[in-house]
Amino acid sequence: MRGLNGDARAYHLFLKDLSAYLRAFLRRRLAQLPDDVEDLVQESLLAVHNQRHTYDSSLPLTAWVHAIARYKLVDLMRRRAIRDQITEPLDEQDEVFATTDTDAADARRDIGKLLEALPARQRLPIVHMKLQGLSVVETARLTGLSESAVKIGVHRGLKALAAKVRGHT
Amino acid sequence: MKTEDLVTMLATGTGAIDSHAVVRRFIAAGGVGMLGAAALMIVLLGTRHDMIQAMTLPMFWVKLGYVACLAAAGMVALVRLSRPGLTMGRAALGLAAPVIAIWLVGGVELAASGAADRADLLFGKTWRSCPLLIALLAIPAFITCFWAVRGLAPTRLRLAGGAAGFASGAIAAVVYSMHCPEMGAPFIGVWYLLGMLVPAAVGALLGPRLLRW
């Protein structure tokens, strides 16, 4: 409480205790993804800090903290689900992304041909992210598109490619 | 970054927190939204020409009270939903009570009138335009309410979006009641409510997209 009133040392202590508490809280709920626990602890701490003006001091602190942590947990799950959706079509198209050397060369030529048929806002994100292995942020900076536009471009582009391949064979 | 470093970083250079900031934010949002709706109405529609006369009738104040109660309850619900871990609580009761009250009054009015007057009480002369105009006037408050919630931490995004939409609709209905010539309780109970539910539905649709944090 004193931390919210501007007492930096009390606030520091509070955040320290809170991070231990959050770690226990999230580890219990995220048993299958232990690598993400610490990320989520930090994310929740940041949210608690940024949203500390939404805490009503007449109400229990734990309910407020739990609600924030749970919200961040659900948010992470949702993001993971979306990411899995984006990457899934790649794994399914084994015949395009062949594994042997000669096949790979053929495949690259084929992909080039297929990609040319896509509009730039879908083609560039795929080239940068999926063929050159850049991150979303880097791709966004290179292409001048927003991050969500990059993600959408990859998603829609891969879908269109998959549809094309299915049509060809 | 290590969590301990993050804690240290967050804890340095923080000032005291204004515990009334949330409520003040919503008063500003509601006020600006209402002014926007009033400006929009004066430009597009004008106030009703028999305004002074109408203010002497009890039904005018019943109508105003009905929408004002809904606007207040909507804002309370919105403030609660913008804080993590709170439900609508008694604000839900505050939303239901005016509606039930106006339906009761409307039911009595319908029962007391002859068959010929009933359609007139329910549909008035403006039932086609009324919900649409309320939804139109709700646009400024819709924007300001969403702005207010976006700076806070709603954890139920769809519900919070719906509440923001409904509150903006109720604010618009308060303003619209200065224009609307209808005086039948059944009319108010149906078409006003419909006009408020349009922005509420839009808000519920947009909430998960616009209110993430």
Q: What is the pLDDT of residue A106?
A: 60
Average pLDDT over residues B133-153: 90
B68, B174 Cβ separation under 8 angstroms: yes
Confidence of residue A105 (pLDDT cuts 50, 70, 90): low
Return d(Cα B200, Cα B196) in angstroms, integer: 6
Judge whether residue B207 has pLDDT over 90. Answer: no
Among residues A33, A51, A134, A23, which one has the least CA distance to residue B151? A51
Q: Mutate which of B1, B7, B19 to test chain A, going by most A C-beta atoms within 10 A?
A: B7
- Give the pLDDT confidence score for residue A2 in this predicted structure: 53
> Are B84 and A64 contacting, i.e. CB atoms less than 8 angstroms apart?
yes
B56/A contact by beta carbon, under 8 A: no
Are the Cβ atoms of A70 and B15 closer than 8 angstroms?
no
Question: Rounded to whole angstroms, how far apart are CA atoms B21 and B148?
Answer: 11
| Chain A contact present for B86, CB below 8 A | yes
The predicted-structure confidence for B53-94, as pLDDT tens digits, reads as follows 777 788 888 889 999 999 999 999 998 888 888 888 888 888
Q: For residue range A53-64, what is the model confidence (pLDDT) as tens digits? A: 888 777 788 888
Distance CA B75, CA A42 (A): 32
Identity of the residue in B6, B15, B18 whose CB atom sits nearest the CB atom of A42? B6
- Residue B168 CA to residue B148 CA, distance in Å, equals 12
Mean pLDDT of the A76-97 span: 66
pLDDT the model gives residue B166: 93
Task: Using the predicted structure, report yes or no on whether residue A95 has a pLDDT greater than 60.
Answer: no
DSSP at B212: -
> Which residues fall within 8 angstroms of residue B201, CB to CB, at 6 or more apart?
B162, B165
A37 pLDDT more than 50: yes
Q: Which residue of B has its CA nearest to A5?
A: B16
Place of tokens 């009324």: B130
- Structure pTM? 0.69
Output the pLDDT for position A22: 86
Considering only A82-96, B18-32, B81-95, B140-154, which range has the smallest mean pLDDT? Answer: A82-96
What digits encode the pLDDT tens for the residues B1-10? 577 777 777 7
Higher local confidence (pLDDT), A91 or A56: A56
Judged by CB atoms closer than 8 Å, whether chains meet at A12 and B8 is answered as: yes
Report whether pLDDT(B15) > 70: no
The mean per-residue pLDDT over the stretch A84-101 comes to 56
CB contact under 8 A, B18 and A53: yes
Which residues of chain A lie closer than 8 angstroms to B8, CB-CB?
12
